[in-house]
Every structure is written in structure tokens, then in C-alpha cells.
Amino acid sequence: MESRVFYSNKQDEVEAVEEVLSGIDESVMPDLVLVYSTLKYHGEYQRFLDVLGERFQGVPQVGGTVDGFVYEGGLRTSGLAVVLCWDEDASIDTFNVESRDYSGLRELAGDMDDGVLFLHYPLVYLPSSVDVLSIVARAKYYDLVGGSDAASREEYAARMSRYLDGKGVFNLPQRILGSFEGCDVPVVGVNLGHFNPKRESPRVFHNYSDIGNGVSGLIIEKEGVDVVSDDIYPSKAGGISETRDRVMEELKCLRSFSYRGSGNVISSIDGVPPMEKVEGFKGGVVSSEEFREKVEEESISGESPFIMFLLNSDTGGGSFLGVSNIYPFSYFPSYLDFDSFDDELYFGYEPAKGKLFDYISSVDGVSGSGFVFSVFDVASISIFGDMVLEYRDYLEEQIGDNYFSVLSVSPSVYLPRRFWRRDYLVEVSNNVLFAGSGLSVSVEI
């Protein structure tokens, strides 16, 4: 596959897309269009999508909002990027998942033996102010009726999990990618997210429409496609106890706790509401008024140096989750399905020191002979600052100029065993790799 990247940082979204198109000859018609935008044009994405749809009518398109992109021209954290792709040997198709029932996703892969699927979806979707405040009110009600009894709190955690699922706040990679179990080709979760999200973001772009909080799928069927996943964490050890010891050493583990919960909501840690434990790690629980102000000012951020690790005895691995006092209620909802894990968790520090290039290490596993599309964790910017500018030169040294990378929240991947480079620690369910930070995925086509 060959590619060309066109970029604009014009203040107006229509001027931006016009600048992009000015660099494309009128006779050019690609086989695939990728469109990524930062939040700079929030609320106006359809304006440039309409222009692109008219220009590339009938050409499949996927993409969404991210925090930045890396390509031959540089590392950008503002603006619009359009990637045109050509491949006469590939079969390319798109699909859109409109419901939250993922049971039919596996059928979309059919009997594919070669190729890759991409799924674009918000990992966490921040709804409108009205919806956010109604969610907080519901959670406060669960606080009241759930009380301090552990069994009662677990029951209301289950209710809260179902309620949040109905609201579409969290899209859980375990559930989405887990539906592909038995599939012979990799499925890459391009988890869309923002370090400082705006209301009603992230957004998904599918065939030149802003579909908001949806799931956009891309199927590329072709021989020789390679998918590489890597991360900042060690591999599994010989057994579950050895793996636990390795993780505790890596995290400089502060404490371990038992916990209870249901679905994607933790109801108690060591028998008390989880946010009381979080308070001991980061600055106290926010008030409802503080939370409302953050929503209105669009200043919500889950940044924290603390993470928790959860073991999964079924896979011998587990996953990592950032710990923050973001919620003005005592339950702890997340993008992980806690039903998959053992009942103990471990608090520590994110093991990021000295790992600048480990955040993009998936590119070390590709040959650079084809188009390389990568998803990198945007947390690297907050951790390393201007040092991430070295990524561009590093990528070009490793894979040349036929590449494009997005900076978003940590990606996920369903990875059949034939693509495993090592015994990944972050196996959250069978052949599904994911953690709240520190992963990268590179696909060579």
C-alpha cells in the first residue's frame, strides 16, 4: 500500500480542507481515505467531511478525532490530516456498528485468512453537560441507597454498569474485541480519546459522516499484512505468582488491596468505597460543584502518576488502569470489565521513566517495506514533553516515509497467536491485549 499525507492547521475548518485539497491533483482517486482531526474544529467536523465526501465520492473512509499525528512532515497536535492510500492488491470495505450489541461483529470477518480489521470508537465518550449531570445524579442516588454494605454496593455497581452502558459512556475493548474470538486475522482497536476532552467527544468519522459515539469498521483483506503490538511493560513470568511479583517490582508497588465490583464499576476496595482509597493517593475526592465546573470549562483530565494492576488468572496476565479522583461519587467506573479479573489489585507508579521509545516500540517489529499505520499513546506527551519530537526522526530511520501515526489513548488489539512477539503481560482476555496506558500497535500493509 502506498500513501500520501495532506495536512492543514488553518483556523477555519473549510479553509483547512480547501488547503488540503489544493495539494491533490484533480485526477487523483485513492482506494482509501483516512481522516483525522484534533479538537480544534470541534462541532464543525461535518463541514470538512462534506467537502471530502464530494471530492472522493464512493471511496471508503474511516477516522475520527485524536490529539495528534506523526508523519513525514512532522509531529502535529493541532489541525486536520487526510491520508490517501492506494493498493490494487487489497480488498477494502467499511462497516458501521449502530447498536451496542457486538455479538455479530465476528461474522464481519467471515473466513478471512489474511489481512486486518480496524475498529474506530471512543474509549470513553464525554456526553453533553445535561447527560453528564444526570449521570452524576444517578450515581449519587446509588451512593445513597447502596450505603456502606459491600453486598448492596455490589448490586448497585451492577446497575450503574448497565446504566452507563446504555448511555454509551464507556466502550470496553474486552467486550468489543473479545467478540472476535476465533478470528484468524488481527483486529485493531483504534481507541479514540483526548487528554482534555470537550463535551460530546471523541467523534468517529465514517464514510464522510460524523457519526459521533459510534463504531466504524475497516476491513483490509490482503496477503502479507503484519500487525505488531508492544508496550512499556514486562512479559509474563513463569506462573501467576511469579508474574505478580514481577509486576509489583516494576510498579514499585505501594500497596495491594482486595476489591469488589460488577461489570465496569468497582464498588469497594478493602470493604470501603473506592474513592476513599483513591483520596489517599491523589488530592481528595472532588465535589459535585467542582465536577460541574470542570464539565462546563471542558477541563476534565484523568492524569495521574498512579496506576493499578489487576491480574487475570485465566490468561496469566492482566491490565493496568490509571487512578484518579475524577468522580464526585464513591463508585469507580472504568473502561475495563472487572468481571474478567481476580479480586486483588495492586497500586503503584506508572513505569515510564527512561521509556520514551518504548511508547512507540511496535514500529521496531515491522520491516518498513509497506505502508505502516500506527497508534501511539498520547500520554507520552504529558510524560516526556518536547522529547517526543524525536519520534519523527526515529520513525523515519526505522520505516522510511510511507507511514502515518495517530496520537490517541492507548490502543487495543485482538491478536492471534501467530502474531505474538513475546508473552504479553497485558492479555486482558483470550488474545486481547489492552491497558490504560503504554501500548502501541503498528500495522504494515
**pLDDT value of residue 206:** 98
**pLDDT value of residue 99:** 75
Contact between residue 196 and residue 89 where contact means Cβ atoms under 8 Å apart:
no
Q: What is the dihedral of CA 108, 113, 114, 115, to 10 degrees?
A: 10
Count of beta carbons in the 10 Å neighbourhood of residue 42: 19
Q: Where in the chain are the domains?
A: 2-125+170-232+353-444, 129-167+233-349
Residue 12 to residue 18: CA distance in whole angstroms = 10
Chunked mean pLDDT (size 10), the chain, 445 residues: 98 98 97 99 98 98 98 94 98 89 80 94 95 94 92 96 96 96 96 95 98 96 98 94 91 87 96 77 59 62 74 96 85 96 90 92 96 97 91 94 98 98 97 97 99
Q: What is the dihedral of CA 132, 134, 135, 141, to 10 degrees?
A: 150
Contact between residue 43 and residue 65 where contact means Cβ atoms under 8 Å apart:
no
Q: Which residues does residue 349 pair with via DSSP β-bridges, in sequence order?
A: 306
* Residue 412, H or E segment: strand 412-414
Which pairing describes strands 209-212 and 204-206: parallel, antiparallel, or unpaired?
Answer: antiparallel
Q: How far is residue 398 CA from its own chain's centroid?
A: 24
**pLDDT value of residue 285:** 55
**pLDDT value of residue 244:** 92
**pLDDT value of residue 250:** 86
Q: How far is residue 247 CA from its own chain's centroid?
A: 22
Residue 61 to residue 94: CA distance in whole angstroms = 8
**pLDDT value of residue 111:** 80
**pLDDT value of residue 104:** 79
**pLDDT value of residue 253:** 82
Q: List phi, psi (to 5°) of 340.
A: -80, -10
**pLDDT value of residue 266:** 96
